[in-house]
Amino acid sequence: MDGVAIIQYIMSTSLHQEIHRITDTEEHAREFLFQRGILKATMPCPGCSSPMTLVACSSSKSSDLLVWRCPPCKRFKNIRSDSVLSGQKLSFSLFLLLVFYLSIKSLPSVAIRQLIGVSENTISDWKTILHTRVANYLIANPSPIGGPGVIVEMDEAKFGKRKYNKGAYREGQWVLGAVDRNTGHCFLLPCPNNKRDALTLLPLIQRWILPGSVVYTDEWAAYNGLTAATYTHHSVNHSIQFVDPDTGVHTNTQEGLWAHVKKSVVGATNLELALVDFMFRRRFSATGGCHQISNCFNGYLSVLKA
């Protein structure tokens, strides 16, 4: 679906009403941000540590019309303090709309700009904030794939026929990828120092694939140590055929995944963050369509918590 078709589809669902309900006024948006923990629900006074209380204020004091106030020492604090919105000018409703539209896979930035009237830079800045939060979340919660008897397909691919911005990624970055055939969950990791020998790959594999998994790969020599590392390992010789006629072993799911990944990181300024966002979205892709957008939106909100 292109941008227009995606928007028409969204407009026809109850999700659109839901988003409208939480963003129709700044007050509703602010309330929602407090509920979701993106704005802090409690605030200790920086001076005396007493719990501060929320009080209405004039627009000259804060455009959010609400501030934290310490009853004993009368100090004030902005309600955006200690949150992802701290120091940001974006209104609460625009912030929520932006996160919502970023949850829609393949909706181009230009469409988001037209829909909510924010600049290209604002979209790009928030994308970076969001993807950095997602990356930190995945590092803290690696959630490995596979498990005893579960088939995992693994492969390496070279990314970046184009040059990524500012030389952060040299041309031809190797990425190790694997997909769980049961859940469709995946991991995509740039190979450290662009190496793909056993010494480099095995620690990544052991962190991201559960012991006892059945791992299908091509015949790349770095994978020879997999059996010793508690996996059942089958390989297929890609220079002869893509499905082993005797065992039926193939890595076509991973091959298909590479096509999706390569499409979704086109134009990314930071390959690693774009890969991380792809992995994050995959965790919410089981149900598809509207649920997928809603789940991704909720997932994004959870990583944006204060």
Q: Which residues bind Zn ion (CB under 5 A)?
A: 45, 47-48, 50, 70, 73
Q: In this complex, which beta carbon is closest to Zn ion, that of residue 33 or of residue 45?
A: 45
Instruction: Please answer whether residues 196 and 300 qualify as being in contact, where contact means their C-beta atoms are separated by less than 8 angstroms.
Output: no
Q: Kindly list the distances between the CA atom of residue 218 and the CA atoms of 156, 215, 224, 256, in Å, as whole numbers in the listed order.
A: 9, 10, 11, 15
The residues facing 155 across adjacent strands are 177
Smallest gap, in angstroms, from Cβ of residue 203 to Zn ion?
49
Q: Residue with structure tokens 């299908």? A: 216
Smallest gap, in angstroms, from Cβ of residue 84 to Zn ion?
25
Smallest gap, in angstroms, from Cβ of residue 45 to Zn ion?
3
Closest CA to 188 of 281, 103, 288, 284: 281
Instruction: Please answer whether residues 279 and 261 qualify as being in contact, where contact means their C-beta atoms are separated by less than 8 angstroms.
Output: no
Q: In this complex, which beta carbon is closest to Zn ion, that of residue 41 or of residue 110?
A: 41
The region that residue 58 occupies, defined by phi over 0 for left and psi between -120 and 50 for alpha, beta otherwise, is: beta
Helix (H, G, I), strand (E, B) or coil at 186: strand
Q: In this complex, which beta carbon is closest to Zn ion, that of residue 68 or of residue 101?
A: 68
Q: In this complex, which beta carbon is closest to Zn ion, that of residue 72 or of residue 203?
A: 72
Q: In this complex, which beta carbon is closest to Zn ion, that of residue 73 or of residue 259?
A: 73
Closest CA to 257 of 233, 293, 281, 226: 281
Q: Residue with structure tokens 């609460």? A: 92
Smallest gap, in angstroms, from Cβ of residue 285 to Zn ion?
47
Helix-then-strand count for the chain, H and E = 10, 8
Segments in 24-88 forming alpha helices (H): 26-35
Q: In this complex, which beta carbon is closest to Zn ion, that of residue 46 or of residue 289?
A: 46
